[in-house]
Structure 1
Amino acid sequence: MNTRTSMPARYITWFVCMFAVLIAPASSAWDKHFLLTSVAVNALEDELPALDRVIRPTTLASFVARNNEALKTALRLFHDWKQRAYPYPQWLLSDANAALLRQPGTMSQKQFLEILGVGPAAFSKVVIPTGFDAVQNAALANPNMARSFGDWLVLFSDEPDWGMDQSLFGAGDPRYGEIPYGSLKGTGSQAPFHMYFPCENWISLKIKPSLKQGMTHLRFVAFANLAQVALCAGDQYWGARFLACTIHYLQDMTAPYHASAVPFLNPLVIAKAILAKDKERFSRDNTQLLSNRHFLFEAVAARMQVLGAAAPEKLYSALSQKVAALCAAQDKEDNPPTTTLMKQFKASNKRAFDCAHKIDKLVSKAFPKKLVGDPSYDPFADGAFDVSPYFSDASVQSWIDGQRNKKTPFLNEIGGSLSNAVEATLAALLAVLR
């Protein structure tokens, strides 16, 4: 009897390990968040005059000093809520910081970053993304010059991918325990903050319970609260910077490969995993295939965004009608902004999860087998992969212009996911700024 029960147990234990590796590679969602945010900002210029207000940058140290008590209150309320809503040993407070939030005393910039749960170098640099000049005047690449609130939003909507969420696990940081999923180094180490699986099927959660420990929703709420503190205090620069981070985490939840842990998981895959003679190789091969499909999806989406930037109404169908509908809905909204934002967060994540399996199948059909079915081939190994031989700019542009061909189903799904991201961004900006 012990023999009969130990074999399945051993298979399940191995499959848990394989599952953990499979979701490690996908940690950055949309390649160019600034393009999504730019579309939303431009679409709302007439509705939100605050977007045009010109603002000069200020230092984080001065912001923390000016708003110390309000920030302490916001962070205390956040951690009180987190303790009720998130029963896992992650993003913990030291005894000293927990006491600081409840007692008189000045919170330093270092303590602020510790309590916020990010790396010590967070907000210390500005990274100008590749292709930024596609939607912005090249002069705006200077991070020290004044610019509009909307332009700050566009620039900083990529900031959570600049390192603040990386290398927080397995490095002796007392705030965090064992990494729930992802890898300990590089962009894969930010996976628990940028990938969130509340809609995952029970089989996946049974196989790997730590999938429940995603913290994207926590980051989203924390930054939304900080944005409110800054805006209420008239600190527009940090209001824009924190709101941009809020938007980033929301946009991550509209990416299919960030809402579904393993989109191709099904009973057949599980059976193959159990029956595989070389299980380490099976795990390694499927990890590579998932990585390839994820990044191929992102590569086509990035080209679609760049090509559609000049005429967003073509790429994002019925954009003006969506803006009007969202404005009308916001005018009737009685809930506080944080409630509205969380509703949008959950709805966007559910839509992304629902289409993830279909998109993964379409990716597998849209590219040659070498790219999507050959685990020995890593198209991104040298960092110079070019998607144009498979999806030329001309073919993507023709889809944007309304022409249809055999690649249309795949492009339709990408367009739908991008529209989901833009619509979520529109709703978030209206909830906070209208």
Structure 2
Amino acid sequence: MKRLLLALSCLIACAPTTLLAWSNHSLGTWLALADLEELRQAEPVQVESLEAFLAAEGVALEQLLDEQEAFARENFPDYPARPDDLRWLPGSTGDRRRAFLMALRVNPEIRLASFVQALPGLQLPDHRFLPAEQVLVFRKLNLWNEWRFIALSPGERIGPLAVLASAADEPDYGHDINLFSDNPGEVGARYGFGTQPFGDARFEYSSQAPFHIGYYHESALIYRAAPFLARTYPEMRVQQYLGLARFAFESGHDYWGYRFLGWALHYVQDLTQPYHSKALPGETTATLMWTAIKAALGDTADKEAAIERVATRHTEVEKYQADWLRRLLREGSNDSPLLAAYRDRSVEGDYPPFDLGYLRNVVSLEAYEAADGFDERIGAWLAKGQPGADFSQGNQLKPPASDPELDAVLVQLIRHFSGHSRNLVRTTLRNP
């Protein structure tokens, strides 16, 4: 039995994790929240540096972060306590920004530039663009070739939706990389998260996976074989950033209220992606056991095929959805069901008010239950032929062939993405 559990553990540990869920969170957030009354009525906010926010509210933040840490220790299963030497002390000397980020246990090297993304219809004609390296910490920036970052200056006023939507993409800019003890850099040894539980260490972004994935609904046997699946931390991030957002609103720092709220929103949106809520979509406990038995006996073909299948389907469907959305926006196709899904409120009546159990009990569970059907539909689409493999005139890749049944599943998932986004933002702004 031990050998079987070890083989099953190895199979799950090798499950692929990707960097992004739903590609550009800012674009999806901009579309999902465009008609939200609480944002439409909100006044422009004044841009403020993090250093100014900390200087004004450092003492009160000490109490907030202490309360958050106490709550996490009591309420989050498998929560690794923050080491006491990382506690935020407002009177300490030195780099206050770095000390604050380390108290949150995020990557202290993140840029935190003052910016908004160049979103559809956003008009800021007298502003310059920031190069990606001033916004992201990654060495390889090719994934963000189509992103455009507009520089903001402290003191200027900007619409809150632009701030919130732009911030919703920021946690993918390096907030959660290299935080484990076996990662490069010095902070992982201090943060108390232990070794990286899963992810491919060959990729600089892979160490963020345990913060952007929530495997909350696997079977007891899966958890027994792979206890590392419990070491995921999106609930912690939502609790931290949502608390900071409410604090910032209450203390009159609306810019940081919306920015922290966008950071919290990111992790909620991540878990609406089924591949972020189930370790190996398309596999039951029984099929995983059989694959593990064969691997334990030396036949690894099914194991390798399962890993490759999930990686390919996840990657291809993310690209398909992102390309579909960008194409619609370029063409101005406002009657598309995908664009309509971002505005569709038909599912929201099924959701309870947002609370700190919502991410696990509502968002992740909904995505987990959709995972196998989603994976199967992607497989049927791919079986028709590799998308994007042919070239059109001008030597440009043809767009992937559309699949009405896959489109229908994606539209429903985007309804979930948008409904949960509005639920979180509405609840926060009505009850700051």
SS of residue in 2 equivalent to 1:186: coil
Cα separation, 2, equivalents of 1:343 and 1:88: 18
Cα separation, 2, equivalents of 1:125 and 1:57: 11
Per-residue CA deviations over 1:38-84 (Å, capped at 9, x if unaligned) read 1222111x444454x22332211111111112211111111101111
2:277 aligned to which of 259, 278, 288 = 259
The 1:315–1:213 alpha-carbon spacing in structure 2 relative to 1, beyond 3 Å, is same
Is 2:223 aligned against 1:180? no
Higher share of residues assigned helix: 1
* Structure 1 residues without counterparts, runs of 5 or longer: 1-7, 373-378, 380-385, 396-406
- Deviation at 1:280? 5.8
- Deviation at 1:122? 2.7
Cα separation, 1, equivalents of 2:86 and 2:424: 31
The 1:322–1:390 alpha-carbon spacing in structure 2 relative to 1, beyond 3 Å, is closer
Letter in 2 for 1:365: A
Per-residue CA deviations over 1:370-420 (Å, capped at 9, x if unaligned) read 759xxxxxx9xxxxxx985533xxx4xxxxxxxxxxx32211111111110
Letter in 2 for 1:347: V
Cα separation, 1, equivalents of 2:397 and 2:408: 17
The 1:219–1:329 alpha-carbon spacing in structure 2 relative to 1, beyond 3 Å, is same
1:32 aligned to which of 24, 30, 36 = 24
Cα separation, 1, equivalents of 2:111 and 2:50: 8
- Deviation at 1:431? 0.7
**Which residue of structure 1 lines up, in the alignment, with residue 410 of structure 2?**
414
- Contact kept? 2:34, 2:40, Cα under 8 Å: no
Is 2:265 aligned against 1:273? no
- Deviation at 1:21? 1.3
The 1:428–1:387 alpha-carbon spacing in structure 2 relative to 1, beyond 3 Å, is farther
Cα separation, 2, equivalents of 1:214 and 1:190: 10
Structure 1 runs of 4+ with >6 Å offset: 126-129, 318-321
Deviates further, 168-177 or 133-142: 133-142
**Which residue of structure 1 lines up, in the alignment, with residue 150 of structure 2?**
142
- Deviation at 1:181? 2.0
Per-residue CA deviations over 1:167-197 (Å, capped at 9, x if unaligned) read 1111342212022222344222111100001
Per-residue CA deviations over 1:15-54 (Å, capped at 9, x if unaligned) read 21221111x423421101112211222111x444454x22
Is 2:429 aligned against 1:429? no
Letter in 1 for 2:198: Y
**TM-score, normalisation: structure 1:** 0.79
- Deviation at 1:162? 0.1
Is 2:175 aligned against 1:164? yes
Give the fraction of aligned pairs with identical amino acids, expressed as a percent: 23
Deviates further, 354-363 or 288-297: 288-297
The 1:389–1:302 alpha-carbon spacing in structure 2 relative to 1, beyond 3 Å, is closer
Deviates further, 12-21 or 160-169: 12-21
**Which residue of structure 2 lines up, in the alignment, with residue 13 of structure 1?**
6
- Deviation at 1:289? 2.2
Per-residue CA deviations over 1:288-325 (Å, capped at 9, x if unaligned) read 321111011211221333345552784365876728x9
Is 2:84 aligned against 1:95? yes
Is 2:366 aligned against 1:358? no
**Which residue of structure 2 lines up, in the alignment, with residue 118 of structure 1?**
106
1:221 aligned to which of 239, 243, 246 = 239
Letter in 1 for 2:47: P
Query: Structure 2 matches for 1:182-261, cutoff 5 A?
Result: 182-184=199-201, 185-261=203-279
Cα separation, 2, equivalents of 1:138 and 1:62: 24
SS of residue in 1 equivalent to 2:196: coil
Alignment length, in residue pairs? Answer: 385
Cα separation, 1, equivalents of 2:124 and 2:372: 39
The 1:345–1:137 alpha-carbon spacing in structure 2 relative to 1, beyond 3 Å, is farther
- Deviation at 1:11? 2.9
**Which residue of structure 2 lines up, in the alignment, with residue 400 of structure 1?**
none
The 1:427–1:371 alpha-carbon spacing in structure 2 relative to 1, beyond 3 Å, is same
- Contact kept? 2:171, 2:263, Cα under 8 Å: yes
**Which residue of structure 1 lines up, in the alignment, with residue 322 of structure 2?**
302
- Contact kept? 2:377, 2:405, Cα under 8 Å: yes
- Deviation at 1:10? 1.8
The 1:329–1:202 alpha-carbon spacing in structure 2 relative to 1, beyond 3 Å, is closer
Root mean square deviation of aligned Cα: 3.2
The 1:10–1:261 alpha-carbon spacing in structure 2 relative to 1, beyond 3 Å, is same
Per-residue CA deviations over 1:176-235 (Å, capped at 9, x if unaligned) read 202222234422211110000112222321221121121001101110001011111111
SS of residue in 2 equivalent to 1:142: strand
SS of residue in 2 equivalent to 1:367: helix
Letter in 1 for 2:82: L
SS of residue in 1 equivalent to 2:189: coil
- Contact kept? 1:60, 1:109, Cα under 8 Å: yes
Query: Structure 2 matches for 1:373-384, cutoff 5 A?
Result: none
Cα separation, 2, equivalents of 1:360 and 1:387: 25
- Contact kept? 2:244, 2:257, Cα under 8 Å: yes
The 1:215–1:410 alpha-carbon spacing in structure 2 relative to 1, beyond 3 Å, is same
1:322 aligned to which of 345, 356, 371 = 345
Letter in 2 for 1:40: A
- Contact kept? 1:153, 1:241, Cα under 8 Å: yes
- Contact kept? 1:26, 1:257, Cα under 8 Å: no
**Which residue of structure 2 lines up, in the alignment, with residue 403 of structure 1?**
none
- Deviation at 1:252? 0.6
Cα separation, 2, equivalents of 1:252 and 1:293: 17
Letter in 1 for 2:2: A
Letter in 1 for 2:338: L
Query: Structure 2 matches for 1:59-70, cutoff 5 A?
Result: 59-70=49-60
- Deviation at 1:284? 4.3
